[in-house]
Structure 1
Amino acid sequence: MKKTSLLEQCANYPEEFSAAVAALDGNAHPLAEYVLQFGALNTELARQTVHDLLLNKPRQRGIKRTASQIKIDLNSWNDVRIDMEKYGITENAAVEKHLNEVDTKISKDTFR
């Protein structure tokens, strides 16, 4: 199986990624429904989450950003990547363009 980035997994399997994020936030029902409906899990995040839930492993402590915040960051970063390819601009220019055009909660430092 080809190794893909978390961003690519989020873009390719948004329903599965959202279900895994909900499970990380403490609500495993969407992920359970996804497994019943589709069977196989395509993202590493979903597989690892199911693994940890089945083994009753404690959730990671000390994460400063919630899964929802991380999802917002990933979506914004995807927009920056698209702008880089579409306009042929540098990463810094794409970040500036994104921050100026989009009403977002993400600071410039988050992109760094």
Structure 2
Amino acid sequence: MYPSQSPSTPHRPFMMAPPMPPMSPRVTAPMPATNAGWAVAAMIFFWPLAFAAFAHSSKVTGLWLSGDHAAAQDAADRAKRLGKISLLLWAILSVAFIVLYVAMIAEIISSASSVSYY
């Protein structure tokens, strides 16, 4: 017996916490991806759409944890869609820029050949 213990207080063994109950079987589908990569792509390729893409991407986890799985999936899909739209817009604008640049160079060359110096 320890000096600080009195004979009326028995020694209690160390008690562990009770085991955690298993997770709810309701949640069977995994959380959708936040598609933050597509939001970054929107920032790189067409930044005006990046604001909306990042907003939707940041909502996914909170909506999922609050139990609104349909809204979380919708936010993830919207972030991905905005990233793809920004990539498509960048491709279209790049092709249009190249076509206009080639047309401008062709016009300069054709007008320079018609000029006489004598």
Which structure shows the higher helix fraction? 1
Higher relative contact order (CA 8 A, sep 6+): 2
Question: TM-score, normalised to structure 1's length?
Answer: 0.27
Question: TM-score, normalised to structure 2's length?
Answer: 0.26
